[in-house]
Structures are given as C-alpha cells and as structure tokens.
Amino acid sequence: MAYVSIESDERMEEGPEGLHFQSFLGTDARDTAPNPSTNSARGYIPDRPGKSGFWQLDYYQPYFDVDTKIVLRRCYSTLIPTSPTYISNHLTPADLYGPFWTLTTLIFSLFVFSSLASSIAAYLSDPEASSPTDPLEYDFGLLSTAVGLVYAYGLGVPILLWLGLRYLGVGEWSVVEAVALWGYGQFVWIPVSVLCVIPVPIVRWVLVGLAFLLSGYFLISNTYPVLASADQKAVRLIAIFLVLLHAALALCFKVLFFSYYARKQIGPADPIPAPSS
C-alpha cells in the first residue's frame, strides 16, 4: 500500500478572497428550531411558510392559531377596569378566534336566556295555566335580531372605525387589533345575559348598567390613546360617538331581550315597560 504526501496550503483555510469556512458539526438544529408548544403557551403565532393573498384561507389561518388558555385569559382580562394597555399586554399578537366565538356565544346566550326569561315570566304570571312540562315556544325572530345586532356592532363598528382613522392618517393599530378589541370587549355581556333571567326589573337594570360601564370603559380606555395620537383635535370627539353607540347597544339588549316580567310585579317598577306584542 502506497501513501501519497500532500502538502497543505495555509492560504486555503481562508479560501479565495479571504472566504472563511465554519464548521456546523457541533450545533444542533433543534436548538434554533421553533418550539410550537412553547410559542403557543406564550401567545406567539408561528410563521407560516409562503405567502397567501387575503382572498385565500391560508392568509387568515395564523389569526386562528391560538391556545384556549390564551383566549380565556384575554376574555376575563377585559373584566379588569384598570386595563388601558390591553392591546400591548394581552393582545399581542391579535387573533380572530377568540372574538368570533365571544360574539357567537353572546348571540346564543341572548337568545336562549331571553327565551328562558320569557317562560319564567309566563309561569310566574299564571302558575295554574303554565306547566313545567309544557313545551317552550321559541321566538326565532330574536335569534336573527341578535345575529344582526351583535355582529354589526362587534365586527362592523371596529372595521369602520379603522377605515375612518386610516383615512384621517391615524394608523397606529391594525384592523385585526380593532376587531379583536371589540370582540373581546363584549365578553362581559355573556354572564350578564345569564343573570338577567332574574325577573326583577331593578336587578336587570343594575346588571345592564354595570356591563355598560365596564365594557364601555374598557373600549374607550384602549381606543382613546389611538385617537389622541391624531393631529386633528376633532378626531378625539369620536370617543363621544362611541360612548353613545355603546349606550344604544346596552339599551337594545335590555329592551329587546330582557323585558319579560311577571304580571305580579316583583320589586320596584320598571322605568321602561316592555313593548306590547
């Protein structure tokens, strides 16, 4: 067996034109690979390979890739009045999964518990004529009303607000953040719709008033910093319009879905009587 001696050229270590060679044998690819479970727990949305247009489903897929624990934390965080930095502390990155199910659950709650409140009021009005075994009669017109009202306010208002601010040159947030903020902000109405089954007028008004103050303060405290960044002082007047619009929503919830009372009045009289059917 013959051995050939090869002389090494030291200049080859740097390569042509000073090109340096580096060995990657000592590194592990798993050290730099993203950990989906860790990122999901922290609320980070993993990057998707490739690019998709907004008309394709792949474009919206990252906005629905969020952990259930994160959605629940973002929901009950809206019940904390002192949360003016909700977008930076809890809504980074923003998602559409939570707002969609929050609004959809609210529609379901308004319809179901409004129907339950109607049946309870009918039974308390005339216990002999009403039997617990009688089938419930659902007013599906309330369901279509709830769908139109909740989706128009929870989706239409933030999109129109974002478009208006973009037209005025205020673009410090994205449309996804606006929709997510409004969607999560309606979470407080879900437990209130459950508690409004109580056939006591004053209790229902107090619950609706508390929900209006809590959700209204949450929305304004997180929207006003964006409005205040505008050069035009008149832009800040939009906050007043949003408060009035939110008050109209609360009044619609109370009058349309929870105005069922027993004929035998329980508690103080209702300042706004139920509409005649």
* 228 compared with 110, residue with greater pLDDT: 110
With 60 as the cut, is the pLDDT of residue 20 above it?
no
Q: Please, are residues 271 and 232 in contact by the beta-carbon 8 Å criterion? A: no
Taking alpha carbons only, the member of 22, 63, 23 closest to residue 175 is: 63
Q: Which two tokens stand for residue 211?
A: 């929900």
**pLDDT confidence of residue 228:** 79
Q: Can you tell me the distance from the alpha carbon of 163 to that of 161, in angstroms, rounded to the nearest whole number?
A: 5
**219 Cβ contact partners less than 8 Å away, ≥ 6 residues apart:** 181, 182, 185, 242, 246
Is residue 230 exposed (0-12), middle (13-18) or buried (19+ Cβ within 10 Å)? middle
**pLDDT confidence of residue 186:** 94
How many C-beta atoms surround the C-beta of residue 265 within 10 A?
12
Q: Please, are residues 71 and 90 in contact by the beta-carbon 8 Å criterion? A: no
For range 243-265, the mean pLDDT: 84
With 80 as the cut, is the pLDDT of residue 273 above it?
no
Distance of CA 72 to the CA centre of its chain: 10
pLDDT digits (tens, 9 = 90+) for 25-65: 333 333 333 444 444 333 434 434 345 555 556 666 777 87
How many CA atoms lie less than 13 Å away from 16 in the CB half-sphere? 0
- Candidate from 17-26, 152-161, 179-188, 229-238 with smallest mean pLDDT: 17-26
**pLDDT confidence of residue 84:** 67
For range 82-90, the mean pLDDT: 75
Q: Can you tell me the distance from the alpha carbon of 133 to that of 224, in angstroms, rounded to the nearest whole number?
A: 52
Query: Torsion over CA of 251, 191, 275 and 149, rounded to 10 degrees?
Result: 60
- Candidate from 162-166, 235-239, 262-266 with smallest mean pLDDT: 262-266
**pLDDT confidence of residue 8:** 46
pTM: 0.71
Give me the chain's average pLDDT, please: 75
**pLDDT confidence of residue 53:** 55
- Taking 3-state DSSP, the helix, strand and coil percentages for the chain, each rounded to the nearest 5, stand at 60, 0, 40
pLDDT digits (tens, 9 = 90+) for 214-241: 999 999 988 888 887 777 777 778 889 9
With 80 as the cut, is the pLDDT of residue 139 above it?
no
Q: Which two tokens stand for residue 199?
A: 């056939």
Query: Torsion over CA of 252, 75, 242 and 221, rounded to 10 degrees?
Result: 140
Q: Can you tell me the distance from the alpha carbon of 28 to that of 30, in angstroms, rounded to the nearest whole number?
A: 5
